[in-house]
Amino acid sequence: MHGFNPLGLRARKFAAEARAKAGPILRRGFRNLCGTPAVIFSAGGLMDEPGSEEKLTALMKGLASRVIAGQDNTGEYKFWPDRIEPAPGSAAAIPGAEPIERWENPHIPSGYTYLLQLVAHDLVASTVSLSVDVERAEVENARDDALVLETIYGNGPELTPEPYEFSREHLRGRGLVPRTRLRVGPLCPKIAGTKHCPHRDLGRGTGTAGVDATNRPINLVEDGARQSDRAKLWATETMVADTRNDSHALLSQLTVLFHLLHNTLIGKLEKRVARHDEWSEQEFAWRRFVCARTVVTLIYRRIIRNDLMRKLLHPEIYEAYAKGFRLEDGKDVKEGIPLEFSHGAFRFGHAMVRNSYRVNDPTKPELMNFGLEQSPRLPYKLPVSPEWMVDWRLFFEIDPTVAPNFSRRIGPHYAKPLIADLIFTPESGRGLPFLDHMSAAFAGVWSVPDLIGHLQEKLKKRPNSKLANIFSTYDLWRARLSGWLGEKNGLIPLSPTDITRLADHPPLSLFILFEAAHSISGGAPSREGGGVRLGALGSIIVAETIYGALDRNKVMFDDAPSLAQSIKECCGKLLSAPDALADVAVGGNDINEMKDVILFLAENEAFLA
């Protein structure tokens, strides 16, 4: 999702300048939400000055240092003056439950932080290597169809075989009968006390490092075990459709969840549907696979609409978009993902990451370093160790007696693991906040005040739009940004000139976080009660992009009035067995939320170890 290469800053700057002068360039996969901006972000003109790259880098390093400004020397979080109360009846509201910390958001469990990341990967597959080439400096999006789970299924078992199990049926058919199940690692011993844990890692391979002088393959083995007869090979190859889904242990475990959902449905179809005489074994396998994939995708898209967006968006904006409101007319819809989304608004999920997590036992200490549990970084530590096998009741509100890890309140501060140079960049003192804000600066996105003004005009022209007055005047935001930037407990002080530059024209990624960190009281921003969900600008950009992608990339049977009806039509059309998956439900109800997926898998014994 980052789509950013620190080595290609100058090339990106040239591309942004050329785009601003030449008008819209509708490259495959990216577009601006409101067309080509009249004024792009330039840090108050800094990007047009001599030596702008060095000056902007220094400014963004100073801005990135503000990520710890909400804490004092004791670690007490001071950015927000209040604590957010948990919802009545939730586990966090039970008498005797652990008190909510000032930085916690009890309305968004931490599982949604990583569902957001999966959705980002399903929207954008950007190839960083292309950004080094000046002639192709605009980052390409290789994702052909958004929000249809290409990030899980790739291009299918023929073109992307890595994530699919090699089966006896596939072997007997000499490769003509497709692989139909997604890979998961072998079962691990059950972890005491867990109730909703898959006890599996992703499928992983060891590969080879080349051949030796006698033409024998060289396998890398775990450090310290080279002389052992039981040396452990390094698991360097992740067997998934999108290797970004192995970017850390929590996301790899979420990917396992979707693989298990698919395999559970395939298992039901294999047991319940008979082959028609006119179907070959090859065609029958394909029909089962397409049916299972379609149902998983229908469930996933329903969760995006009914669960994820409801939790994240400004309530009035969610209500409008859920009922069909769009800024773009159907005849005027452009392909691709807006830069204001990919390099601005959707990076808010980074601020939701916690410092540490309870992973599979509510009584065990919290763990950090989840970002290092992946093949490219520490392959000798894999498969994922038992301590990182996720019990999902600690990440979604499943068990009414167990409070999950809650995400951080959305604001301009990041957890310590995201500041680690080891994970995000070899250059010191930067980390993910620097990359987020620097990437937004070089992407050529709209200037925040101009974007707000442009959207206000579009909203006012819409008949009966309840959103016409959704924005606060930017002068109010400017004053509050200046006050925050001028606080003295940042690592790198900002000069008055720097403060003015950033307050007048902040990077979009920063403003989305700062806006979300405030509630609106009497038309004015207030930190009290803030950080629970996105603000007006962030919600409009996210809603327009997500709902627009769902509109443009239709899935078979997605327009049925209920999930149950969609599944019935799917099974009837593809397998002539409309009731084959009639029990894909929880308590007789449609699957609407992520917790329903986990409860469904538990009911179908997908978590037994």
pLDDT, tens only, 175-200: 788 999 999 999 988 888 888 999 99
Question: Bridge-partner residues for 526, per DSSP?
Answer: 519
Q: 100-129 pLDDT, tens per residue?
A: 999 999 999 999 999 999 999 999 876 543
User: With 90 as the cut, is the pLDDT of residue 220 above it?
Assistant: no
Helix H or strand E segment including 519:
strand 519-521
Burial class of residue 81, CB neighbours in 10 A (0-12, 13-18, 19+): exposed
Instruction: Tell me: pLDDT of 413 over 50.
Output: yes
Backbone region of residue 175 per phi and psi (left: phi > 0; alpha: psi in -120 to 50; beta: other values): left
Highest mean pLDDT (candidates 193-207, 341-355, 375-389, 529-543):
529-543
pLDDT, position 192: 85
Task: Tell me what pLDDT residue 219 has.
Answer: 77
Write out the H or E segment, with its range, that includes residue 408: strand 406-408
Residues contacting residue 268 through CB under 8 Å, at least 6 positions apart: 580, 581, 583
User: For residue range 289-338, what is the model confidence (pLDDT) as tens digits?
Assistant: 999 999 999 999 999 999 999 999 999 999 999 999 998 765 555 667 88
Contact 433, 68 (CB under 8 A): no
- As a dihedral over the C-alpha atoms of residue 590, residue 593, residue 595, residue 596, rounded to 10 degrees, the angle is 10
Give the burial string for 250-266 (b: 16+ CB within 10 Å, else e). Answer: bbbbbbbbbbbbbbbbb
CB atoms within 10 A of CB 529: 16
To which residue do tokens 């301590």 refer?
Answer: 387
pLDDT computed for residue 76 by the predictor? 58
Least confident of 256-265, 368-377, 401-410, 464-473: 368-377
Q: Does pLDDT of 523 surpass 70?
A: yes
CB atoms within 10 A of CB 216: 9
Return the beta strands (E) in 78-130 as ranges.
104-109
Confidence grade of residue 378 (pLDDT, cut at 50, 70, 90): low
Residue 163 burial by CB count (10 A; 0-12/13-18/19+): exposed, middle or buried? buried
Range in 374-378, 392-396, 581-585 with the lowest mean pLDDT? 374-378
Three-state secondary structure call for residue 221: strand
Q: Which of 134-148, 321-335, 374-388, 586-600 has the highest mean pLDDT?
A: 586-600
**Count of CB atoms within 10 A of residue 268's CB?**
20
Model confidence at 22, pLDDT cuts 50, 70, 90, reads very low
Residues 258-263, mean pLDDT to the nearest whole number: 98
The answer to whether 346 and 401 have CB atoms below 8 angstroms apart is: no
The C-alpha angle 414, 417, 423, rounded to 5 degrees, equals 115
How distant, in Å, are the alpha carbons of 292, 482, 591 from that of 503? 50, 6, 44
Structural tokens at position 449: 């005040």
* Burial classification of residue 96, based on how many CB atoms lie within 10 Å of its CB (0-12 exposed, 13-18 middle, 19 or more buried): exposed
Question: What 3-state class would DSSP assign to 13?
Answer: helix
For helices 474-485 and 508-516, the axis angle rounded to 10 degrees is: 90
Q: Percent helix, strand and coil across the chain, each rounded to 5?
A: 45, 5, 50
403, pLDDT greater than 60: yes
Confidence of residue 134 (pLDDT cuts 50, 70, 90): very low
Give the β-pairing of 337-338 and 30-31: parallel
Q: What is the pLDDT of residue 375?
A: 55
Question: Could you give the CA distance from residue 271 to residue 291 in angstroms, rounded to a whole number?
Answer: 14
Residue 572 in tokens: 């009837």
Q: Which of 150, 153, 128 is nearest to 138 (CA)?
A: 128
Alpha-carbon distances of 383 from 37, 82, 441, rounded to whole Å:
47, 41, 38
Q: How many degrees, rounded to 5, is the angle at CA 409 between CA 408 and CA 414?
A: 60
Q: Is 405 helix (H, G, I), strand (E, B) or coil?
A: coil
* pLDDT class of 494 with cuts at 50, 70, 90: confident
Token pair belonging to 141: 């999006």
- Looking at 147-190, list the stretches that DSSP marks H as alpha helix, in order from N- to C-terminal side: 150-153, 156-159, 168-172
Give the 3-state secondary structure of 293-337.
HHHHHHHHHHHHHHHHHHHHCCHHHHHHHHCCCCCCCHHHCCCCE
Tens-digit pLDDT profile for residues 79-90: 899 999 999 989
Q: Which residues pair with 519 in a beta bridge?
A: 526
Would you call 586 helix, strand, or coil by DSSP?
strand
- H/E element holding 525? strand 524-526
Q: How far apart are CA 63 and CA 56, in angstroms?
A: 10
CA-based Rg of the chain, rounded to a whole angstrom? Answer: 25
In angstroms, the CA 524 to CA 540 distance is: 19
Rounded CA separation 340/344 (Å): 5
Residue 217, helix vs strand vs coil: strand
| CA triple 246-250-252, angle to 5 deg | 30
Count other Cβ atoms within 10 Å, centred on residue 532: 17
Contacts of 475 (CB under 8 A, 6+ apart): none
Q: pLDDT tens across 573-602, in order?
A: 999 999 999 999 999 999 999 999 999 999
Q: What pLDDT does residue 210 have? A: 79
Three-state secondary-structure class, residue 65 = helix
Q: Comparing C-alpha atoms, which of 559, 474, 508, 599 is closest to residue 40?
A: 508
Of 38-52, 209-223, 437-451, highest mean pLDDT: 437-451
Q: What is the DSSP string of 526-546?
A: ESTT-SSS--HHHHHHHHHHH
Residue 297, number of CB atoms within 10 A of its CB? 22
